[in-house]
Amino acid sequence: MCGIAGAVAQRDVAEILIEGLRRLEYRGYDSAGVAVINGGELQRTRRVGKVQELSAAIESEPLAGGTGIAHTRWATHGEPNQSNAHPHISTDTIAVVHNGIIENHVKLREMLKGLGYCFSSDTDTEVICHLVHHELKSHSSLLAAVQATVKQLEGAYGTVVIDKTDNERMIVARSGSPLVIGYGLGEHFVASDQLALLPVTRSFAFLEEGDVAEVTRREVNIFDVDGNAVTREIKESEVTHDAGDKGEYRHYMLKEIYEQPRALAHTLDGRIAAGQVLDSAFGDNATKLLKDIKHVQIIACGTSYHAGMAARYWLEDWAGVSCNVEIASEFRYRKSHLFPNSLLVTISQSGETADTLAALRLAKEMGYKATMTICNAPGSSLVRESDMAYMMKAGAEIGVASTKAFTVQLAGLLMLTAVVGRNNGMDEGLQAQITQSLQSMPAKVEQALGLDDAIAELAEDFADKHHALFLGRGDQYPIAMEGALKLKEISYIHAEAYASGELKHGPLALIDADMPVIVVAPNNELLEKLKSNVEEVRARGGLMYVFADRDAQFESDDTMKVIPVPHCDEFMAALIYTIPMQLLSYHVALIKGTDVDQPRNLAKSVTVE
Ligand code: F6R
């Protein structure tokens, strides 16, 4: 979603800001802009489309100046055009960038119009800059004006404000939309994601909800929601990823698919000893907080939700606790029942998904025994606000379609199953089997990646298709859902997933030669049932692509292509069958020529509702 970069420095900052925006491109956006203060004047350049177009515009008309702000916009209020692109400017004096949504913008707009302000965009953001301009008339500093402004805002914001009459500072404010301050030598930066600032600093402090900060070249002064001066810990970033580096790969998505063995090895590192998953994988308090857990409520969105759905089978079957899984946007707006000794688990690659964060906050109010997040972003809101965190250590994921984050989430959830199960009397043999399975995942995934060429060939069959159906049973049903989501996201083919036992309750009516049916078929106790479902499809003239264990005894014929998947145990089957689903969607998207890493209309980190 929208991205922010800002700087106060002695050198010209336009290039730094543009590079920051490039590093945020993966989040999804439709226009971009930058404004700097130069010789007491605001200079602004905005473009619809890619950051490259903004960069080219600045190359032909350079922007000089040491204080500036920049933004990539993902349209919410107002179409993606140049006048709606940020930064927005009030009365040629105040410039603002903003992530989030101002819910009371209509009321504020009317009030500001009444005061004589003219609006030049359809955005909710523009109210912020006029409001700051208005408040400056009765406040002695930009800081005080911004503090007075944010008190009037309802909704979510991460915002940065500069004033052309004061090129020494920027004011940043956070509520519901993350902002991180980057500390340099004699210069300071701000961004919505630390990735944006890695070329200029590795020292970061994350603002907390309600914080407003005054950032100058020499100082950063942070104030909490009540206006008290506070300190926020400055940490050295552990993120090593160079967002500009796709290496030998054509797309980040492919790179990230191939990074999975390494990401899995990394996530397991130091978390298993003496054949057991260590409680400490989930943080220092885990031994105490996980002790009496009898029920697990999992909350997530999208791909992360699918990981949670798979884990439900494991927690109930192997760990012996009841488990519910719900989409965050549903959970947060309904009354749900709280079971005794319940653990709330959020799953999120970004750690900033607005609905998941709201669900966590609601759960805390409801009185869950403990909260945990399975998350890939250190310092993110979900990590900071949860009692426990399983840090995924998958490395930054840049492709909008989540791949390595999903498989690492599955590994983390299998570890959770082992730990919760141990506290509920799981026998040692089962614990050892799970542990062994975890340890052999990286090598097995490597084998599964060997399917790449065969899948690339198969993908040709999908090039002219408009629909596809994915089928699975048990913990492969969520994998079928994930396969369908990946195909939708990056190839724009309509795809649906069904638990194959549901076929005859409706979807069978869709089957014909134009509807490819993708089946995930490991060799488990549901195999015979799945085979019956496959026959139901065959009898109706459907074309099937069956990803099957070599012992499952499927044979290719005119109506069915069988793709043998490396043999694997039941603990890792969901994870292993995910790999061909990822590769299939990738190759179909390549053939269709879509923007694989930044598919249309989508954002990497969904920080608004
Ligand atoms: C799909 C995808 C999304 C995310 C969802 C939740 O490929 O990436 O469905 O999984 O937006 O995001 P996180 O995990 O960051 O909470």
Helix residue ranges, H only, 38-92: 51-60
30 half-sphere exposure, CB direction, 13 A CA radius: 15
In this structure, the residue with its CA closest to atom 8 of ligand 1 is 402
Mean pLDDT value of segment 275-285: 93
The residues pairing with 169 across neighbouring beta strands, listed in sequence order, are 216
Q: Which residues of 547-570 are buried (b: 16+ CB within 10 A; e: fewer)?
A: bbbeebebeeeeebbbbbbbebbb
Single out the catalytic residue among 164, 404, 444, 604: 604
Backbone angles phi, psi at 237, to 5 degrees: -70, 140
Our mutation pick for probing the ligand 1 site, out of 375, 492, 606, 609, counting the most ligand atoms within 8 A of Cβ, is: 606
Our mutation pick for probing the ligand 1 site, out of 251, 256, 301, 373, counting the most ligand atoms within 8 A of Cβ, is: 301
The contacts of residue 122 (CB under 8 Å, 6+ apart) are 77, 78, 79, 84
Give the model's confidence band at 241: pLDDT under 50 very low, under 70 low, under 90 confident, else very high.
low
For residues 423 and 291, is the Cβ–Cβ distance under 8 A?
Answer: yes
pLDDT at residue number 342: 97
Residue located via tokens 């030598």: 185
Mean pLDDT value of segment 507-524: 90
For 225, other C-beta atoms within 10 Å of its C-beta total 15
Task: Please give the Cα distance from 224 to 213 (Å, whole number).
Answer: 9
Give the model's confidence band at 1: pLDDT under 50 very low, under 70 low, under 90 confident, else very high.
confident
The residues pairing with 154 across neighbouring beta strands, listed in sequence order, are none
pLDDT tens, residue by residue, 45-89: 999 999 999 999 999 999 999 999 999 998 888 899 999 999 999
Residue located via tokens 């515009």: 57
Task: Please give the Cα distance from 307 to 519 (Å, whole number).
Answer: 18
For residues 479 and 313, is the Cβ–Cβ distance under 8 A?
Answer: no
Expressed in angstroms and rounded, the spacing between residue 482 Cα and the centre of ligand 1 is 11
Sheet order of strands, 516-521 included: 494-499, 467-472, 516-521, 543-549, 560-565
Atom of ligand 1 nearest to the CA of 303: 10
Expressed in angstroms and rounded, the spacing between residue 404 Cα and the centre of ligand 1 is 12
Q: Tell me the percentage of the chain whose pLDDT exceeds 90.
A: 81
Residue located via tokens 């141990």: 422
Task: Please give the Cα distance from 344 to 356 (Å, whole number).
Answer: 11
Q: Is 604 designated active site?
A: yes
Our mutation pick for probing the ligand 1 site, out of 256, 327, 348, counting the most ligand atoms within 8 A of Cβ, is: 348
Which amino acid is it at 314?
W
The contacts of residue 452 (CB under 8 Å, 6+ apart) are 583
Give the model's confidence band at 530: pLDDT under 50 very low, under 70 low, under 90 confident, else very high.
confident
pLDDT at residue number 523: 82
Mean pLDDT value of segment 249-258: 95
In this structure, the residue with its CA closest to atom 9 of ligand 1 is 302
For residues 210 and 175, is the Cβ–Cβ distance under 8 A?
Answer: yes
244 pLDDT above the threshold of 70: no
pLDDT at residue number 175: 93
242 pLDDT above the threshold of 60: no
Query: Among 145, 171, 147, 142, which residue's Cα sits nearest to residue 159?
Result: 171
CA 222 to chain centre: 27
Mean pLDDT value of segment 564-587: 97
**Torsion-angle region of 339 (φ positive above 0: left; ψ -120 to 50: alpha; else: beta):** beta
Single out the catalytic residue among 2, 129, 323, 375: 2
Our mutation pick for probing the ligand 1 site, out of 26, 251, 298, 304, counting the most ligand atoms within 8 A of Cβ, is: 304
Q: Is 568 designated active site?
A: no
For residues 580 and 454, is the Cβ–Cβ distance under 8 A?
Answer: no
Backbone angles phi, psi at 356, to 5 degrees: -65, -40
In this structure, the residue with its CA closest to atom 10 of ligand 1 is 303
Query: Among 79, 91, 43, 68, which residue's Cα sits nearest to residue 191?
Result: 68
pLDDT at residue number 529: 84
Which residues surround ligand 1 with Cβ inside 6 Å? 301-304, 348-350, 353, 356, 401-402, 485, 489, 605-606
In this structure, the residue with its CA closest to atom 3 of ligand 1 is 302
Expressed in angstroms and rounded, the spacing between residue 350 Cα and the centre of ligand 1 is 8
Expressed in angstroms and rounded, the spacing between residue 227 Cα and the centre of ligand 1 is 34
pLDDT at residue number 419: 97
DSSP per position, 390-424: EE-------SSS--HHHHHHHHHHHHHHHHHHHHT
The residues pairing with 339 across neighbouring beta strands, listed in sequence order, are none
Mean pLDDT value of segment 142-154: 97
Which is higher by pLDDT, 419 or 177?
Answer: 419
Query: Does the predicted TM-score (pTM) go above 0.75?
Result: yes
3-state secondary structure of 258: helix
Atom of ligand 1 nearest to the CA of 486: 7
Q: Among 119-133, 399-413, 477-491, 545-559, whose mean pLDDT is lowest? A: 545-559
Expressed in angstroms and rounded, the spacing between residue 303 Cα and the centre of ligand 1 is 5
For residues 71 and 81, is the Cβ–Cβ distance under 8 A?
Answer: no
38 half-sphere exposure, CB direction, 13 A CA radius: 13
If you average pLDDT over every residue of the chain, what do you get? Answer: 94
